[in-house]
Structure 1
Amino acid sequence: MLERETPPIGTMSAQIGQHLGTRIVSGEFTPGDLLPVENDLCQFYGVSRTTIREAVKTLAAKRLVDVSPKVGTRVLPFADWNLLDRDVLSWRLNAQFDSKIVEDIFEMRFCFEPRASFLAAREGTAEDYGLIEHHFQALASSYGPDGSPEAASQADLEFHLAVINASHNGLFVTIGTALKSALRVSSRLIQRESTQPIADLDLHEAVWTAISRREPQQAAGAMEKLLHAARARVLPFTVGPDP
C-alpha cells in the first residue's frame, strides 16, 4: 500500500508532477506500467483530483505517460519521451546520473558544439565576442584566490552557452537551452574536481582565441578538444547503467 508523501517545492501540481516524473525516469514505473489510480494518488499525496489531473496532464505533455479513460495512465516507451524537455532531463540527471546518460549528453554535444563554435567564428558579432570573453575572464578569475568551484562551474556553463548563442543558429540555441541542466551538472563536477586549472583555461582560451580571430576550423577543433577533456573528467564520477 502507498505511504503518503508530500513533495517539497513549487505549486502542488508541479511538485507531484516532479515526484511522479522522477519515479518514472528512475525506473520505479517502467514503460507499459499503469500508474496508481486517481483515488490512490489523491490519498498518497493528500490532494484533490484536480491537482492529480493537472500533474498527470503535465507528464502527458512531456510524453512520459498516455492517459486513456478505459485503460488508465500508462507509462510510454522510452523512445516516446521528450528527452530534451528541461524537466525530463533534470529528473533523469538527479535520479540516475550514470555513465550512459553522460555518454549520451556528450555525444550530442560533440554533434553540435564544435559546429556552433565554427559558426560563432564566422557569424558572431562584436557583442557576442564580448560576452564570450567576459565569461572566459570570469572562469579565469574563479581559479584565483577569491574564486570557488561554484563560480567556476557557473562561468564554464555561461561560456559554453555564449558560444552556442553566438552561432546564431536557432536550433542550436534551443538545444543549448534544453541541455542547460546537463551542462550545469557536468560543469559542477568538472570544476569541483579540478586539479589542473591552467590546463582548463588553456582549452577554453583556445576556443575563445579561434572564435575572436574568426578562424572557424580552428574554433571547431578547439571545442572538440575541450569536450573530450570534459568528458574524461566527468565519467569517473558516474556509475555504470543498471543492467
Structure 2
Amino acid sequence: MFERDSTIGTMSAQVARIIGTRIVSGEFGPGDSLPIEAELCQEYGVSRSTVREAVKNLAAKRLIEVAPKLGTRVLPFADWNLLDPDVLSWRLSAQFDERIIEDLYEVRQCFEPRACYLAARTGTQDDHDRIGRRYADMVSMLDQAPLAAGAESEFHLAIIAATHNGLFVTIGGAVKTALKASFSLTQKDASGTPIDLAPYEEVLSAILARDGERAEAAMRRLLDLSRQRVLAAVAHHRERGRSWR
C-alpha cells in the first residue's frame, strides 16, 4: 500500500501521481502494459473505482491509452501532454536534469521576452501596478525559499497576464510549476550566494517606462542568467549525490 500524501486531494489523484511518475521516469516505457486493475488495487490498497479514475486521468493527459483486448499501454513521449501541470510536475520530480531545463528555457525564451514587450507597450496601469506588487513581494520574501518561489513565479505570470493574450496566459500557467521548482532549487545552492535582483528590477523598470524594446531585451538577459544559475545548481547537487528536491 502506498503512503498517502495529504497535500494531494483525492485518492485517485494520488494513485495517478504515482503511476504517472513511474511512466515519466521510464519505469514503464512506451508500449508497455500497466499491471491489470486487480494488481493495481492490491498494490496501492485502493478500490477498483479509484484505479479506474486514476487511469482515466492519465489517459486524458495522453500518458496511456486504454484499448479493448489490448489493455492499458503507455503512449510514446511525443503523444504526452507535456504542458499539463501534473505531467510537468512529475517530470520535474523524476528527472530534473539538464535536458528538461534546456527545454523549459527554450520555451520561455520564445514567448516571455515578447510578453514583456507587450506588457510595456499595451499593459494597463492596473497591470503595471500588479507587476510592481509582485516584484515587491519577491523582494520581501527572498529569505523564505518556498514563499519566494511563489512570488517569483507570480512576477512572471503578472507580466504574461498584462499581454491580455489568452494563449500566452495558458502557456504561462503551464510552466508555473517549473518556475517554482527551478527557483526553489537555486535557493538551495550551497554557495549561499543570494539571487541577484538587479535583472528583475531592470525588467520592471523597462515595463513601467513603457519601453518595449528594453523590456524585451531585459527579459532575455534575465532568462539567460536564470538558466545558468539553475544548471549550476543541478550540477552542484549532482556532484554531492543529492536529490534536487
- TM-score using structure 1 length: 0.90
Residue aligning to 2:80:
81
For 1:21, give the aligned amino acid: G
> For residues 137-176 of structure 1, what are the structure 2 equivalents within 5 Å?
137-143=136-142, 147-176=143-172
For 2:103, give the aligned amino acid: D
How far, CA to CA, are the matches of 1:133 and 1:166 in structure 2?
12
Among 214, 228, 234, the residue aligned to 1:232: 228
Residue 14 of structure 1 and its aligned partner are, at CA, apart by: 1.2
Structure 2 unaligned runs (5+)?
239-245
- TM-score using structure 2 length: 0.89
For 1:119, give the aligned amino acid: L
Secondary structure of the 1:238 match is: helix
Judging changes above 3 Å, is the alpha-carbon distance between structure 1 residues 60 and 236 closer, same or farther for their aligned structure 2 residues? same
Q: Percent identity?
A: 56
Secondary structure of the 1:66 match is: strand
Residue aligning to 1:92:
91
- Post-superposition CA distance 1:31-84 (Å, at most 9, x none): 110001111112112222222111100000000000012100000000000000
**How many residues in Structure 1 have an aligned counterpart in Structure 2?**
232
Residue 219 of structure 1 and its aligned partner are, at CA, apart by: 0.5
Secondary structure of the 1:84 match is: coil
Residue aligning to 1:221:
217
Contact 1:7-1:19 within 8 A present in 2 as well: no
How far, CA to CA, are the matches of 1:89 and 1:142 in structure 2?
25
Structure 1 unaligned runs (5+)?
none
User: Root-mean-square deviation (CA), in Å?
Assistant: 1.6
Residue aligning to 2:28:
29
Residue 191 of structure 1 and its aligned partner are, at CA, apart by: 3.5
Contact 2:186-2:233 within 8 A present in 1 as well: no
Among 2, 5, 11, the residue aligned to 1:5: 2
Judging changes above 3 Å, is the alpha-carbon distance between structure 1 residues 48 and 180 closer, same or farther for their aligned structure 2 residues? same
Secondary structure of the 1:164 match is: helix
How far, CA to CA, are the matches of 1:68 and 1:103 in structure 2?
35
